[in-house]
Structure 1
Amino acid sequence: MLSLSAEGILPRIDYAIFADTGWEPKAVYSHLDRIQREIAEPAGIPVLRVATGNIRKDALDPAHRFASMPLYILNKDGRPGMTRRQCTGEYKIKPIKKQVREILGYPYPERIPKGIFVEQWVGISTDEFHRAKDADVAYMHNRHPLILDMDWSRADCTSYLESRGLADTPKSSCLGCPFHGNQQWRNIRDHSPEEWADVVAFDAAIRAGNARANASGNPLLGQAFLHRSRVPLDQAPIDHVTAREWAQRQAALDTHAAGERLKELEDGVADGCSPWACRGDQQQPEQEQGDFGLTA
């Protein structure tokens, strides 16, 4: 959308906002620097980088309140579960809303008068029109130009990026996002040893829950993992199909939905982690559990 605006195909935008969790892959930061330098700045479009903190550091800091990631839990009785997902709201939506308020001239907690709002573009394509939603505050009006103005599918977007020399545009999501597919985990392991060591170390560090919860006497009643297999990441079955995945593969012969779910196990969800359409919204996790200390 930034490129389309810079080219004049879509109306000129006033700002582009990037919400930084502090733990994106290096490729994402490099790409952001490039599009800011080669596309936004020549078009006179400011790119605003906003942040609430560093999600990795915050999770391991006993003094910091941590908005939990959707970690996979193995309870003491062997039952699986997942922690509540709060990270998107805390590390992406919250800082964007704060920035929008400042742009409008009404920083929190000032009341924004009725009728004062920004038009916010959300990059959802026609493949996922059902995810196009209104904003939850009156001072932000969502618009979906890839659907309304361009009538573009994901394939159309990819073709356009290729024509602009941007075929290598990476997915934006936390380096250690539990919603990664096996292919994404392998890509980190095989092509970025430093980042792989980072996520393996984090996976081990959160095994007993987040630091603040443990320090306050609210330990995790089980163990936490980044990978859905609920084994340490460096031992997780990311190179072969698990028994559960095999069963889903057989089911995929009968249902399209099961086939799509199996594809996500390997590839992850196709889109990056948009603040307004988090990949986790497409997941169908096991029973969510919020009383394990990770949300303290």
Structure 2
Amino acid sequence: MLCLSAKGLLPRIDAAVFADTQWEPKAVYDHLDRLEREIAAPAGIHIHRVSSGHIREDALDPDHRFASMPLYILNRDGKAGMTRRQCTGEYKIKPIKKKVREILGYPYPTRVPKGVFVEQWVGISTDEFHRAKDADVKYMRNVHPLLDIGWSRADCVRYLTSLGLADTPKSSCLGCPFHGNAQWRTIRDSSPDEWSDVVEFDAAIRRGNARANATGNQLLGQAFLHRSRVPLSEAPIDHVTAAEWAALQAQDGAPDAEELEAGVVDGCSPWACRGEQPEPTRDDFGLTA
């Protein structure tokens, strides 16, 4: 959408906002720098980079409140579950709303007057029209330009390719549990340092978040980044084992082969989160009594 606006194929936007969890792949930051340099700046469009903190460091800091990721849990009774996802709201939606209020001239806690709002573009294509939803505040009104012009994901890929941006990477945290096996393999095979980083994080969160543990509210079970619920360094990311497939089929709403490989399709983009997590949730990363 930024490219379409900068090239005059869509109306000119006033600004773009990137919510940074500070734990994206290096390829994403490199791509963002390129977009800013080659597309946005020449068109006079400013990209605001906003953040609520470093999601990885916050998870391991006993003095910091941590908004939990949707981690896969193996409870003491052997049953599987997930921790509730709070990270999208805390690390993406919250800083975007803060910046929007600043752009409007009414930073929190100043009340935004009735009738004052920003038109926010959300990049949902025709393949995912079911994800389109309204903002939950009156000072933001969501619009979906790709739906308006009838573009599918394939149309977007063709257009990016025509601009020399065929290698546009997916924006998501390095250690997002919604990754599919293909994404885990890409990290392992193309970026050894980032792979070591997520493997270390996976081990560090095994018993819950640092703050909960420090206050005596340990996770009653074990947490994992991979849906197989084994350490990431040992997870079957090159193939799905027969045992894993059998276990998955025994669960309600088990993922199909495509989701295992490609990850949760809807991901956790702001204002386009999937309505349900793939498995039943527990209430908190550190308080799963």
Q: Which has the larger displacement, 108-117 or 241-250?
A: 241-250
Matched-pair contact (CA < 8 Å) for 2:84–2:282: yes
Distance in 2 of aligned mates of 1:247 and 1:188: 27
Distance in 2 of aligned mates of 1:101 and 1:217: 38
1:274 to 253, 265, 269: 269
Q: Which has the larger displacement, 268-277 or 59-68?
A: 268-277
User: What's the CA shift string for 1:52-103, capped at 9, x where partnerless?
Assistant: 0000000000000000000000001101010010000000000000000001
Distance in 2 of aligned mates of 1:11 and 1:136: 24
Tell me what 2:260 maps to: 265
Tell me what 1:101 maps to: 101
Distance in 2 of aligned mates of 1:283 and 1:186: 25
Matches within 5 A, 1:12-91: 12-91=12-91
Distance in 2 of aligned mates of 1:18 and 1:124: 16
| TM-score normalized with structure 1 length | 0.92
- Report the Cα offset of residue 242 of structure 1: 2.4
Matches within 5 A, 1:211-226: 211-226=210-225
- Report the Cα offset of residue 283 of structure 1: 5.7
Distance in 1 of aligned mates of 2:63 and 2:249: 47
Q: Specify the code of the residue in structure 2 equivalent to 1:285.
A: P
Question: Share of identical aligned residues, percent?
Answer: 78
- Report the Cα offset of residue 262 of structure 1: 2.1
Tell me what 2:190 maps to: 191
Tell me what 2:281 maps to: 288
Q: Kindly tell me: are residues 207 and 249 of structure 1, through their superposed partners in 2, closer, same or farther at Cα, counting changes over 3 Å?
A: closer
Aligned partner of residue 16 in structure 1, secondary structure: strand
Q: Specify the code of the residue in structure 2 equivalent to 1:289.
A: R
Structure 2 unaligned regions, length at least 5:
none
Matches within 5 A, 1:202-217: 202-217=201-216
Q: Specify the code of the residue in structure 2 equivalent to 1:161.
A: L
Aligned partner of residue 96 in structure 1, secondary structure: helix
Q: Tell me, yes or no, if structure 1 residue 160 matches structure 2 residue 159.
A: yes
Q: Tell me, yes or no, if structure 1 residue 143 matches structure 2 residue 143.
A: yes
Matched-pair contact (CA < 8 Å) for 1:20–1:50: yes
Distance in 1 of aligned mates of 2:144 and 2:190: 34
User: What's the CA shift string for 1:152-178, capped at 9, x where partnerless?
Assistant: 001101111101100000000000000
- Report the Cα offset of residue 274 of structure 1: 1.7
Structure 1 unaligned regions, length at least 5:
252-256
Distance in 2 of aligned mates of 1:264 and 1:82: 17
Q: Kindly tell me: are residues 214 and 220 of structure 1, through their superposed partners in 2, closer, same or farther at Cα, counting changes over 3 Å?
A: same
Distance in 1 of aligned mates of 2:261 and 2:142: 32
Matched-pair contact (CA < 8 Å) for 2:101–2:108: yes
Matched-pair contact (CA < 8 Å) for 2:228–2:244: no
Q: Kindly tell me: are residues 293 and 111 of structure 1, through their superposed partners in 2, closer, same or farther at Cα, counting changes over 3 Å?
A: same
Distance in 2 of aligned mates of 1:269 and 1:206: 21
Distance in 2 of aligned mates of 1:7 and 1:106: 31
Q: Kindly tell me: are residues 101 and 7 of structure 1, through their superposed partners in 2, closer, same or farther at Cα, counting changes over 3 Å?
A: same
Matched-pair contact (CA < 8 Å) for 1:66–1:294: no
Matched-pair contact (CA < 8 Å) for 2:72–2:83: yes
User: What's the CA shift string for 1:209-248, capped at 9, x where partnerless?
Assistant: 0000000110000000000000000000111122366459
Q: Kindly tell me: are residues 31 and 273 of structure 1, through their superposed partners in 2, closer, same or farther at Cα, counting changes over 3 Å?
A: farther
Distance in 1 of aligned mates of 2:66 and 2:133: 27
Tell me what 2:112 maps to: 112
Distance in 2 of aligned mates of 1:131 and 1:60: 32
User: What's the CA shift string for 1:239-288, capped at 9, x where partnerless?
Assistant: 1122366459999xxxxx98x8320111124566421213xx16642211
